[in-house]
Amino acid sequence: MFKSMLEAFLNLFRPIRTLKYPAEEIVLPSGYRGLIEYGIDACIFCDKCEKVCPPGAILFYQNEDGTKTYRYNPWLCIYCGECVRACPKPEEALWQSETKQLSALKEEGANEGWFVWEEACKQSREAYATAKKSAKIQNKSEE
């Protein structure tokens, strides 16, 4: 008991344990798993990242001219880095940064906006597939 009292007395002169968070920034360790970033110039649109992503946070929209548009949901992402490991051109087309994502605001539509986009991507692919099919049939009949 006397030992505990001595400890309690000595604690008066020891440095404080807690962090002064809002006043002082918290230093994240290097190699912190942050947002996934994308470079459109190096991307070959192989869709590998989309297929391996566990929560489905990366989606490609199929444009009518054959190109694809990348879109990423930073609030759905679990930052596991599977997409970067699956990417044939890591560091150029897809890489993991150390930026931390802030919470979503209502205007950003983290859920609703993403559901709309998911549906749009699905429909764009189906439409593209049918258009391609019908074009093939037309080509054959012309021959």
Partner 1 sequence: MKKTIQIPLGSQHISLLEPIRFKFECENEKIIGVDADVGFVHRGVELACTRSFEFKQVGYVVARVCGLCAITHSLSYTLAVEKLLGYVANDRIKYLRMLMVELDRIHSHMLCLAHTAENAGFEALFMQIMGDRELIMDVQEAISGNRVQFDYISIGGVNRDLTPELVAMIHKNLGVLTSKIDALIGLFDNNWSLSLKYKGVGVLRLEDAYTYNALGPLARAAGLATDVRAETSDFPYEDIGYKMILESSGDIHARNFLRLREIVNSITMCQNIVNNLPVGEIQEKAKGKPNGEAVVRVEAPRGELFYLVRGSGQNMLDRVRIKTPTFSAIPAMIEVFKGAEYADAPAILASFDPCMSCTAK
Binding site for partner 1 (CB under 8 A): 1, 3-4, 17, 29, 31-33, 52-54, 78-82, 85
User: Smallest distance from the beta carbon of 47 to partner 1, in angstroms?
Assistant: 14
Separation between Cα atoms, residue 64 and residue 132, nearest integer Å: 10
User: Smallest distance from the beta carbon of 73 to partner 1, in angstroms?
Assistant: 16
104 token code pair: 């979503």
Which residue in this structure is represented by tokens 């992402």? 77
Give the distance from CA 143 to its chain's centroid: 46
Using the minimum distance from each CB to partner 1, give the nearer residue, 30 or 141. Answer: 30
Helices (H), 11-67: 48-52
* CB neighbour class for 53 (10 Å; exposed up to 12, middle 13-18, buried from 19): buried
Using the minimum distance from each CB to partner 1, give the nearer residue, 18 or 139. Answer: 18
Using the minimum distance from each CB to partner 1, give the nearer residue, 122 or 133. Answer: 122
Separation between Cα atoms, residue 43 and residue 86, nearest integer Å: 13
User: Smallest distance from the beta carbon of 44 to partner 1, in angstroms?
Assistant: 21
User: Smallest distance from the beta carbon of 63 to partner 1, in angstroms?
Assistant: 27
Using the minimum distance from each CB to partner 1, give the nearer residue, 85 or 136. Answer: 85
